[in-house]
Structure 1
C-alpha cells in the first residue's frame, strides 16, 4: 500500500511540474540565438537563453510562453508545442538611406548626469529577466552632437564580471518602448562592487532619433550571473538562502515616472512609486535608472 501511494505521489508530481528544455535558433541561418528574453504570459516566471541558445523552464501546467530577442520577431507559443528546437524569425525592416560623414569628434555633450557618491538605491531583478528602460527626449541643441558615443551606467555586482544586455528602442504613440533602433545585442560587463560601467557606442554610428529613444537594461538569467546569499525573515533566526542575478542598477529619485518603464510579465508598464521609507530622498519618488549618455559629432 505504501509503495502504491509513493508511486501515485511521484506520478502526480511529474504531471504537476514539467521541465521545459529547448535550443533557440535563427529560422534562416539555423544559428543559435543567445540571451533571448523568455516570459510566461501574465505571470512572474521567466528566464534567459544562455550563450548557446539553450534554456530550461519549470512549469506547473500548460502556459503561453513569450520569446523576445533583438533583431527577431517576438513569438508567443503554448508550452506543450515547444520541442527540442525552437525557431525565431529575423525582423525584416526597411532602413532609411544612411549617409555616413566623417566624424571630427571635436564636440561632446553629456546628458542624464549622475553622481555615484550620491546614489544608494538600486534595482535588481531577483530571478526574473526584467527589462527596465529610460527615455531620452530629443532636443534641438543635440543637432551639433547627433551621434551616440557612450553610456555610463551605475552598477553594483556581487559576482565578478556579470553580464547585462542593452536594448535601444524607439517610442510608440503610447510613449512605450517599441521597435529597435539598433538590431544587435550590446553586452555590458559589470565588475564586482559598486562601479560606473562604461559602454562604447562610437563605432555603431547611431544618430539620436528625432522622436527620442529608450535605453533599456535587460537582466540575463544565466549561470555566470547567479548569486546566492543568506538572509533571515523578520522575527525569525532561521537562515534562508536567496538567489539573485547580477548586477543591480543604480537609480536616482524622480518626481514623475513619465520617462521610466519596465517590462514585466511580457508587458511594458510605467514604474511604480517607491514605498521604501528607509531612504528619505527616495521616499514617495520614482526610481529612474542612473544612465548617462554622451553625444558627439
Structure 2
C-alpha cells in the first residue's frame, strides 16, 4: 500500500509539473490554437509550438530566460515576462491580413507540366546542418511571361550511413530520423524575400525512408508564379515522435569553458546538400532568433562563417514542378 501511495504521489507531481510547464498559443479572435508559433528568448535561443499551439517552458530548462517573444505569420508579435507566463497566450491578428481572401482558382486552359530538378549530393562535407534558428530561402526567377502555377517543391536530402566506413555504399543502413519542417513562400522584394505569398501553415515530416529527396505537393495552395519570381524557404522545427508530433526538445547545447558557458544550437538531421552548379547567388539565410531576423545573401563577404562558402558551395539546390499554361 505504501508503495502504491508513493507511485500515485510521483504521478501527481509529474502531472502537476507538466501542466504548469505547458503553454498554449491561441488566436484572440477565433480562440483556435496557433500552430507552430515561434517562441524566441533572445540571444539566439528559441523553440516552436506544436500543431496544437503547445510548447513547454520551465525555469529548469531555461534558467537564464527572463522574457519570451511570441510570433506567428498573420499575427502581431507579443512579449511576455517569464514570471507572467500563463497556460494560454493570446495573439491578435495583424490588421493587414484581416481582409485577406483566399480565392480558389480554376484555370481551364491547356498546360505543360515542367520540372526544375533538385541538385542532389551524398557528400556529407557539402551539406548544411539545419538548426532551428536558421531559415533557408531559395530564389526562383520568372523566365517568361507565361501563366504558371507551382504544384510541388522538391527538397534534396543527404542521408547518413549508420557505419561511417560504409558511407559511400548505396545499400548501407541509414541513420534514422523523423524531422518536422516548415515551408514558406515569399514574393521577391528587390531580390530579397519579401511579403508572404501564403499565410497558411505548410509543414512536412521527413524520415530516412524518403530517400535523397522529399517532394512536397503544394497544388492546393494555388500559388501563381509572380512576375518578379519568388522564394521558397525551409525551416526545421525539430524532431518528432513516430506519429509526427513535435517533441519538446531543448534546442541548444551548453558547453562550459574558461570564459563561461557557451550555447551552441542543436543540429538536426537530415543534412541539406549545397551545390556549386548554380551560377547565381540564389540562396538567402536568416537567423530567426538573432541578428534582427533579417535576410542575408549566402555569399562570401556577407559576414557568414561557413565551410560551404569556402568551397564555393553557394546554393541549396531546391527543385520545383509547375504547370505552364498555354496562351488563349
Query: Quick check: 1:123 aligned with 2:133?
Result: no
Distance between the aligned counterparts of 1:36 and 1:293, measured in 2? Answer: 26
3-state SS of 1:203 partner: helix
Instruction: Name 2:33's counterpart in structure 1.
Output: 32
Alignment-derived partner of residue 289 in structure 1? 316
Distance in 2, Cα, partners of 1:105 & 1:56 = 50
Change (3 A) 1:275 1:98: closer
Deviation at 1:245, TM superposition (A): 3.1
- Do the aligned residues in 2 keep the contact of 1:255 with 1:285 (CA within 8 Å)? no
1:107 aligns with 2:108: no
Cα separation, 2, equivalents of 1:221 and 1:286? 25
- How far, CA to CA, are the matches of 1:134 and 1:33 in structure 2? 26
Q: How does 1:55-70 map to 2 (within 5 A)?
A: 55-57=55-57, 58-70=61-73
Query: Structure 1 residues 131 and 117 mapped into 2: Cα distance closer, same or farther (>3 Å)?
Result: closer
Gaps of 5+ in 2: 1-19, 160-174, 250-264
TM-score, structure 2 normalization = 0.65
Against the structure 1 CA distance between its residues 46 and 258, is the aligned structure 2 distance closer, same or farther, given a 3 Å change threshold? same
- 1:45 Cα deviation (Å)? 0.8
Residue equivalent to 1:261? 285
Write 1 or 2 for the structure with the bigger share of strand: 1
Describe the SS at the equivalent of 1:245. Answer: coil
RMSD across aligned C-alpha pairs, in angstroms?
Answer: 3.4
Contact 1:72 1:89 (C-alpha < 8 Å) held by counterparts: yes
Question: Is 1:276–2:278 an aligned residue pair?
Answer: no
Contact 2:120 2:157 in 1 (8 A): no
Deviation at 1:99, TM superposition (A): 8.2
Q: How far off its partner does 1:269 sit?
A: 3.4
Counterparts of 1:28 and 1:75, CA distance in 2: 15
| Partner residue in 1 for 2:46 | 46
Do structure 1's residue 209 and structure 2's residue 223 form an aligned pair?
no
1:72 matched to 2:84: no
Gaps of 5+ in 1: 1-18, 228-241
What's the counterpart of residue 188 of structure 1? Answer: 204
Displacement of 1:150 in angstroms is 0.8
CA contact (8 A) 2:137 2:232 kept: yes
Q: CA 1:99–1:162 in structure 2 vs 1: closer, same or farther (change >3 Å)? A: closer
Q: Is the 8 A contact 1:24 1:87 kept in 2?
A: yes
TM-score, scaled to structure 1 = 0.71
What is the aligned partner in structure 2 of residue 198 from structure 1? 215
